[in-house]
Amino acid sequence: MQSNKKTGIHLNPVKLQIFLVLLLAGVSTAALMAGQLRIHPYEVIRILLSGVFPIEKTWSPTLESVLFDVRLPRLLAGLLVGAGLSVSGAAFQGLFRNPLVSPHILGVSAGAGLGAALAILFFGKIFMVQLFSFLFGLLAVLMTYSLSRVYRTTPVLMLVLSGMIVGALFSAATSLLKYIADPVNQMPSIVFWMLGSLNNASNKDMIIAGPVMLAGIIILLLIRWRINLLAMGEEEARSLGIDTGRIRAVIIVCATVISASAVSISGIIGWIGLVIPHIGRILVGPDNKKLLPVTTLIGAIYLVVVDTIARTAIESEIPIGILTAIVGAPIFAYLLRKNRSGW
């Protein structure tokens, strides 16, 4: 272990990943146990194994239903959303060479928020909310990309500025919908969804959105060494034979699809894609070959822990977005102060 003021602590990435995998297993088991109906860890393991092996069922059907139909889909959603937002944030920060970039920079969250508000206002069904949030998230990115192509110079800067413009436009439209929504039935649903929650995650969601998010995460992990080349600059990357335009497009598409899919399941959860990559960078340094796997694991652990606290701390569930902001803002301020000399 070495200490460095600029880049923080350098841990052995292999040992760190093994530790994080074990911690993830422990956190996941605790998440399946916790709740109003507490389940013993031995029972959790037996019930899970009963889906694969012929084990005598000595537990009640209610216990099995709670585990398989409620807690397991929610756990899988937390793992994928946390990992996806974190790896997307790390990829965007490496691509734009800016530690303040997050997955929502291209207007994904604002577009998804507008889509969800429209679905709640006119349909009121959770499936339509998820579908509209996903489609409008992709629409926002397409608008951002089209707007950024107006000027050929400084494409990265134009992309960021275009994302800010599109995000502001969609946020204004969402505010208008909140203004005209029914204050008794529709308005609380819109606000609660935009604060973020895994309460509506189901097995169907995992079947539809899970493979898409998992594919995006795997692609980003496979091309993580190319992000290092892009971080060196356009000219340097091209001189090494890298098609910068194609790689940049792949990164943006994967990160956007992951973010849109995550928002369609959980609503808008902030700070994860901004804070978690910084923590990973302190532990293993800025090398994306080491950073992205570590960031993926930390993000999954973090969101599962936060979601478990959100649904067990008090009788009524706390929106995850509130907790991630309460935890994320002070951590980010500390990280900025500690690493003000470089990232």
Domain count for the chain: 1
| Confidence band for 154, pLDDT divided at 50, 70 and 90 | low
Copy the structure tokens of residue 184: 């008794």
Average pLDDT of the chain?
86
> Is residue 1 predicted with pLDDT exceeding 60?
no
Copy the structure tokens of residue 124: 């009121």
Alpha-carbon distance 84 to 264, whole Å? Answer: 13
pLDDT, tens digit (0-9, with 9 covering 90-100), for 158-177: 878 888 899 999 999 999 99
We report the CATH number of the domain holding residue 323 as: 1.10.3470.10
Q: Coil, helix or strand for 258?
A: helix
Alpha-carbon distance 132 to 117, whole Å? Answer: 9
**pLDDT for res 26:** 94
> Is residue 3 predicted with pLDDT exceeding 60?
no
Q: Is residue 52 part of a domain?
A: no
Q: Is residue 55 part of a domain?
A: no
> Is residue 5 predicted with pLDDT exceeding 80?
no
Question: Between the CA atoms of 109, 263, 114 and 320, what dihedral angle is there, to the nearest 10 degrees?
Answer: -90
Q: Is residue 282 part of a domain?
A: yes
Q: Which amino acid appears at position 43 of this protein?
A: E
Q: Which domain holds residue 305?
A: 8-30+65-338
**pLDDT for res 153:** 60
Q: What is the 3-state secondary structure (H, E, C) of 171-214?
A: HHHHHHHHHHCCCCCHHHHHHHHHHCCCCCCCHHHHHHHHHHHH
* Range scoring the smallest mean pLDDT among 9-23, 121-135, 168-182, 275-289: 121-135
Q: 3: part of which helix (H) or strand (E)?
A: strand 2-4
Copy the structure tokens of residue 45: 């393991």
What is the pLDDT averaged over residues 300-318? 92
> Is residue 290 predicted with pLDDT exceeding 90?
yes
* Range scoring the smallest mean pLDDT among 88-92, 194-198, 201-205, 241-245: 241-245
Q: Do 335 and 279 contact (CB within 8 A), yes or no?
A: yes
Q: Is residue 49 part of a domain?
A: no
Q: Is residue 59 part of a domain?
A: no
Regarding beta strands 2-4 and 8-10, do their DSSP bridges make them parallel or antiparallel, or are they unpaired?
antiparallel
> Is residue 280 predicted with pLDDT exceeding 70?
yes
Q: Is residue 25 part of a domain?
A: yes
Q: Is residue 3 part of a domain?
A: no
Alpha-carbon distance 83 to 308, whole Å? Answer: 16
* Range scoring the smallest mean pLDDT among 105-109, 120-124, 234-238: 234-238
Q: Do 181 and 187 contact (CB within 8 A), yes or no?
A: yes
> Is residue 4 predicted with pLDDT exceeding 80?
no
Q: Coil, helix or strand for 4?
A: strand
Q: Is residue 193 part of a domain?
A: yes
Owner of token pair 């993830």: 24
Alpha-carbon distance 211 to 202, whole Å? Answer: 14
Integer distance in angstroms from the first to the last C-alpha of the chain? 19
